[in-house]
Amino acid sequence: MSTHNVWTHKGTFLLAAVGSAVGLGNLWRFPYLTGENGGGAFILIYALTIFAVGIPILIAEIMLGRNSRCSPIMGMRFLTRTHQTSRSWESIGWLGAASAFLILSFYSVIAGWAIHYTGLMFTGALIDVDAAGVGQSFDALLASPGLLTLYHTLFIAASALIVGLGIHKGIEAGLRVLMPSLFVILLVVLSYGAIIGDLGAAASFLFTFNLADLSLEGWLQAMGQSFFTLSLGMGAIMAYGAYMPGEASLTRTAFSIAVVDTAVAMVAGLAIFSLVFGAGLDPGEGPGLMFVTLPLAFAEMPGGALVGGAFFILVLGAAISSSISLIEPVAAFLVERFDMTRPQAVAIMVIASWALGLLTVLSFNLWAEGTLFHTLFGRSPFAFIELLTNIFMPLGGLLIALFAGWALTHAEVMKEMRTNERWFRIWRFLVRFVAPAAVAFVFLRSIPQVEGYLIPAIGAVVIVGAFAAGRTFLADDSQEL
């Protein structure tokens, strides 16, 4: 059942996990959410969640992967057998596969926009165009199903090619070129922003922590974002963890992933807001921040076309290193379960996800409103798919935390973590109680118009549920308190 593949180098897991974590979430979603939610206060909650909840779940997820040495679905099947727990824990694998499939479908469409903007920047098409013109050009892109489908196809095909070549020749080799180049471009864009834009304004916007600025919705979005940005709760990290050599330290690796991911988000935020403030534009533009506000800032600045083009290549590279980690868990499962060749497995996953992506494409134009879908679900297909992933990811994270916290034995965890008893206890407390309670918060995002008192109530229910699950599902011999 096991594939027994292992990364060539000790550091490759870190490279791959950072590649997965750093993506549109850091460069596109993080800056616009921060902009919409008033800056520093949002970042404070985001950073706290990363360290108190994200890192413990990250450790749990890598641990499950490395312990089972299989794709998430087969891996969870193996772990439920060896730990004599209920087979319902296998839902972790299935939920992950479903989220990967859903996220890839829209991730690829949005990444495709960056292909368009790379072209617009390098050709100088936006130079001297005014704000209305830049906005119209974005609207025109969204209004064209043909163009969106073309970019979506190009992006997903490129990702499929890399994964199809295998974990060594494709993923490892690709990441080894991609990741260092991305860091160089990021630093170039930051320096450019610092010289030409207003770094001081950006820094004070990002690092002035005034909690009163933050709405309940802002809190929930900050926590949801910390899951999304670390690629948590859906098996991507588990699949990569399965290829991790046994001797690499889990705690240190998980910590490094979180630190690098957060640093990239901060640097991207500083660079983007320096340019936006330097050009006297509004930071609270929402999803259009990267595709309308930022191109406008570039258009007005000397050398902006060139640096802007490099910036969108950075976006593309970061997105592709994430999308390959969305394909890998499902492809690895198809290979293990149905004995397919890797190219066949990748093709099936990618073609299905591509087809689903067409719904996202149409959600921006022909099906933007007034369809039967809107009548049934009250939102566009894209918004619906995003909502599903916003539910599945935290749910997956919750189950992973509970399984790793309650089902794995003390000895197993110590073997994987290679740490001292104190860290072990802190970690276990966090995955058993703190992470489940925090996930309950994140869920509230998908329940509209909740009253404040529901939060503690749901937190309490989840904690009690965690206990109940621990008692019911798990064999007594796995509980060494």
Residues that bind ligand TRP (CB under 6 A): 20-21, 23-26, 103, 228-229, 231, 234, 236, 322, 325-326
CB-based contacts of 142: which residues, under 8 Å, 6+ apart?
148, 364, 365
What residue has token string 């050398």?
A: 303
Closest to ligand TRP by CB, 240 vs 364, is: 240
CA distance 26 to 267: 9
Closest to ligand TRP by CB, 62 vs 234, is: 234
Give the closest residue to 265 by CA, choosing from 186, 169, 334. Answer: 186
Minimum Å distance from CB 59 to ligand TRP?
17
Which DSSP letter does residue 58 get?
Answer: H
Closest to ligand TRP by CB, 26 vs 380, is: 26
Minimum Å distance from CB 478 to ligand TRP?
28
Closest to ligand TRP by CB, 243 vs 473, is: 243
Give the closest residue to 289 by CA, choosing from 108, 34, 107, 38. Answer: 34
Minimum Å distance from CB 21 to ligand TRP?
5
What's the distance, Cα to Cα, between the start and end of the chain in Å?
32
Closest to ligand TRP by CB, 32 vs 277, is: 32
Minimum Å distance from CB 211 to ligand TRP?
25
In the chain, what's the furthest Cα-to-Cα distance?
A: 70
Minimum Å distance from CB 26 to ligand TRP?
5
What residue has token string 């004995």?
A: 339
For 121, the token pair is 């920047």
Minimum Å distance from CB 257 to ligand TRP?
10
Closest to ligand TRP by CB, 229 vs 253, is: 229
Which residue's Cβ lies closest to ligand TRP? 25
Report yes or no: 134 and 304 within 8 Å, Cβ to Cβ: no
Closest to ligand TRP by CB, 288 vs 465, is: 288
Which DSSP letter does residue 89 get?
Answer: G
CA distance 361 to 62: 34
For 69, the token pair is 């040495």
- Rounded to the nearest 10°, the torsion over CA 360, 361, 365, 370 is -30
Minimum Å distance from CB 32 to ligand TRP?
13
Closest to ligand TRP by CB, 85 vs 159, is: 159
Instruction: Identify the H or E element spanning 131.
Output: helix 131-142
Minimum Å distance from CB 243 to ligand TRP?
15
